[in-house]
């Protein structure tokens, strides 16, 4: 058991969507200090900055990432590869040199091959190339896994690696340029309802499937893994719930109360054909199991977004 009590903890990305939930849960464990480096003051792509932020730190929870949906991945593949790769490389190296006791690196479901058998098992991670639209991001994160395993082997450094599915929930990123599918669709349907539009255009065919994890549960899983898991193998984080984009879009349409039609833009990519994780290792290794029903979490997310729109 790795106790967070009286520890000095660095949480990169701690002011972000997932990070704010992780900070709240870590705060409940009575740490000595939580340091949250903000990107406007601490550019973690620079090694000297990484050296500075890990001084006198016991635990690093590395959540910071340059990340977005399919459109963002297509527009900025070079940035996504470089930013995510160098942040992980520099931060872990400087943490090692500073004698940090434990390092949690947050990966992504995008590390998996495009045609991974469903449900995705951690053992299948190296059996092919990732889906093309998110490969630069996924491979950059995958290198953090390789680095952590190498550092554990050579230096005995306690590094763990988690691979979550797409997260959703209150506080998500609803920017049209970089949001993931759930916030993007919520914004589209709410805006269309407000304007009185007759239809909403959604990318792709609607046939691809995704798995989603409520953000508060993901934050709880991260803290559980820090406390209870020291293994060298990566661990999936998910809900074991698979839903097609078509069903998802219709569900959001229903909850929002939009009465128009959905038009599918089949010139746009679907992304990976299917995504569903085998989450048995997370349950076995540190006792995490998703409990929040998807429609309940989705309704909470939409209600939160509508409350922000009124402000």
Would you write out the chain's pLDDT as a tens digit for each of its 311 residues?
A: 999 999 999 999 999 999 999 999 999 999 999 999 999 999 999 999 999 999 999 999 999 999 988 888 999 999 999 999 999 999 999 999 999 999 999 999 999 999 999 999 999 999 999 999 999 999 999 999 999 999 999 999 999 999 999 999 999 999 888 888 999 999 999 999 999 999 999 999 999 999 999 999 999 999 999 999 999 999 999 999 999 999 999 999 999 999 999 999 999 989 888 899 999 999 999 999 999 999 999 999 999 999 998 77
- Please give the structure tokens belonging to residue 12: 């990169």
Q: In whole angstroms, what separates CA 157 from the centre of its chain?
A: 24
Among 137, 151, 168, 305, the active-site one is: 137
Using an 8 Å Cβ cutoff, are 306 and 187 in contact?
Answer: no
- 16 labelled binding-site residue: yes
Tokens of 71: 């459109």
What is the pLDDT, as a whole number, of residue 102?
A: 98
Query: Is residue 161 part of an annotated ligand binding site?
Result: no
- Global pTM value: 0.94
**Whether residue 137 lies in the annotated active site:** yes
Cβ-based neighbour number of residue 285 at 10 Å: 17
Tokens for 241? 């719930």
CATH class of 8-169+211-241+276-291: alpha beta
- Residue 237's region, left for phi above 0, alpha for psi from -120 to 50, else beta, is beta
The answer to whether the annotation marks 257 as part of a ligand binding site is no
pLDDT of residue 311: 74
Specify burial of residue 25 (Cβ count, 10 A radius: 0-12, 13-18, 19+).
Answer: middle
- State yes or no: 270 annotated in a binding site: yes
276 is in an annotated binding site: no
């Amino acid at each position: 058991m790795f106790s967070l009590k009286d520890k000095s903890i660095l949480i990169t990305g701690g002011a972000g969507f997932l990070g704010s939930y992780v900070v709240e849960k870590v705060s409940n464990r009575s740490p000595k200090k939580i340091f949250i480096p903000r990107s406007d003051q601490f550019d973690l792509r620079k090694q000297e900055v990484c050296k500075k932020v890990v001084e006198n730190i016991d635990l690093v929870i590395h959540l910071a990432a340059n990340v977005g949906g399919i459109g963002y991945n297509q527009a900025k593949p070079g940035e996504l590869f470089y930013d995510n790769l160098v942040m992980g490389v520099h931060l872990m190296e400087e943490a090692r040199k500073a004698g940090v006791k434990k390092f949690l690196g947050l990966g992504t479901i995008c590390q998996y091959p495009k045609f991974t058998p469903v449900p995705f098992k951690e053992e299948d991670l190296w059996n092919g190339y990732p889906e093309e639209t998110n490969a630069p991001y996924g491979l950059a994160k995958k290198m953090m896994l390789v680095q952590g395993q190498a550092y554990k082997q050579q230096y005995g450094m306690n590094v763990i690696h988690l691979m979550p599915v797409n997260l959703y929930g209150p506080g998500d990123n609803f920017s049209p340029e970089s949001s993931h599918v759930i916030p993007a669709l919520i914004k589209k349907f709410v805006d269309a309802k407000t304007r009185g539009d007759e239809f909403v255009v959604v990318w792709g065919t609607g046939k691809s499937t995704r798995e989603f994890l409520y953000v508060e549960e993901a934050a709880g899983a991260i803290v559980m893994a820090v406390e209870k898991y020291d293994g060298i193998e990566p661990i999936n984080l998910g809900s074991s719930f698979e839903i097609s984009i078509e069903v998802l879009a219709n569900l959001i349409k229903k909850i929002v109360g939009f009465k128009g039609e959905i038009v599918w833009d089949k010139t746009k990519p679907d992304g990976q054909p299917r995504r569903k994780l085998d989450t048995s290792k997370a349950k076995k290794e540190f006792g995490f199991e998703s409990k929040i029903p998807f429609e309940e979490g989705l309704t909470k997310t939409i209600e939160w977004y509508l409350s922000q729109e009124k402000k």
